[in-house]
Chains A and B, each alone.
Chain A
C-alpha cells in the first residue's frame, strides 16, 4: 500500500467512517482522482468524527470553540 493510501486509511478510520479492514477495502476501489480529492479534504479538515447515533436527533457537537 502506498503512503497516500495509508494516509487515507488512517483518515477514514480515525474519523470512524470505517473499520481498518473496511477502509483498506474502500481505498482500493478509489481511482487516483478520487484519492486526490479525499486527500485534499484530509489536509483541510483533518478532524472529522462519525456518529453512529442519529445526529438529527442527538446533538453531536463537542466543546470546541470556533474562532
Chain B
C-alpha cells in the first residue's frame, strides 16, 4: 500500500475532532467542529453470532473496552431476556468504574498540566494504572468475564477492599497533596483554599485557571442529561437506518450534555460554584475530579423480544448500545457514544465557546484546549485558532 493510501486508510479508522476557533475583537466569534469518527464501525458486528459480536467489542474498542463490552452484553442480554444477577451486575459495574477512574486520572495527571502550562505527571499515572490492573484482576475468577449471562465473581476475601482503600489513599496523597479529597470537594471555600495552598500538578492547573481569570470561561447553558428516557433512545436508534441519530443525537428534541457535570449537578458545591461561575471551566474541571468515582446508573432495557438497549455511565458520559438479534445472530447494531452529545454542533462546547472572551493567542489556545479536555472527547483533537 502506498504511503498516501495508507494515510487515507488510517484517517478513516483513526477518530479525531478538528476544531476551528475564530477570534475577532477580543472574543471567540465562531466555532466549526468537524468530526472524523468511524461511527459505523459496529456494522462489522452485523451478521455475526451474538457470541462472536460480543467477543469482537473489546478487541475493536480497546481503550474503553470494558464499558463497550458491558453495554454490548446488556443490550444482547436484554434482547435475549437473560443476564447475571445483582452480584454479577455489580461486578461488571465495578470494572466499568475502574476503567472510568483510569481515564479520569489520565486527563487530570497528564492533560490538565499540559494545557495549563505545567508538568504532566506520567509517573503517578503509571503508579495508578498498576494498582487499577490489580483491582480489575480481583473482580472475576478468570479474564474472560464478558460472557453472555454473566461470569463467576471472586469470593470477597478482603483483598479487593484493601486495594480500593489503597487507591483512595493514593488519590488523596498524589492529587490532593496529603489531604482528604472528600473534604476539599465538599465546599467552595475548602476547594478554593486548597487550590491556593497546594502545589500538586492538579492544584497548579486549577490555580492557572483562576489566575488567568478563566474560572467561568466556556460556561454553557446546555441541558444536563439526568435520567435518559431509554424508551425514547431505543426508538430513535431502532429507526436510525442511516446512522444520522448516532451522529447527532437529541433527547426529546433537545441537545444534552452528558458526563461528569451532568452526574454531579445536584451536589452542594456544584450549585455554589455554578452561582458564581456558571458551568464554566473551573466547574467542568472540578466535576472531573468528582468523577473519580462514577456511579450508577448502568442498566439494560428490554424493549421487545429480540431487541435490547445497553446503557453504561462511563467517565465521559452515557454510552448506549442497541441490538436486534434474530436466531442468535446480530441483525442490526447501533452505538451512541457520549462524544456525540458533548461535541454536537449545538452542544456544550459550541454554546460555551462562541461569545467567550479571548486574550492573547497562547492563553486562549490553552483555555480552549482545557475546556475540550474537561468536556472530554473520546478521541484526539486538532485545534486551529484563527484571528480575523
Judge: A and B partners, yes or no.
Answer: no
| B binding-site residues for A, Cβ under 8 Å | none
| A binding-site residues for B, Cβ under 8 Å | none
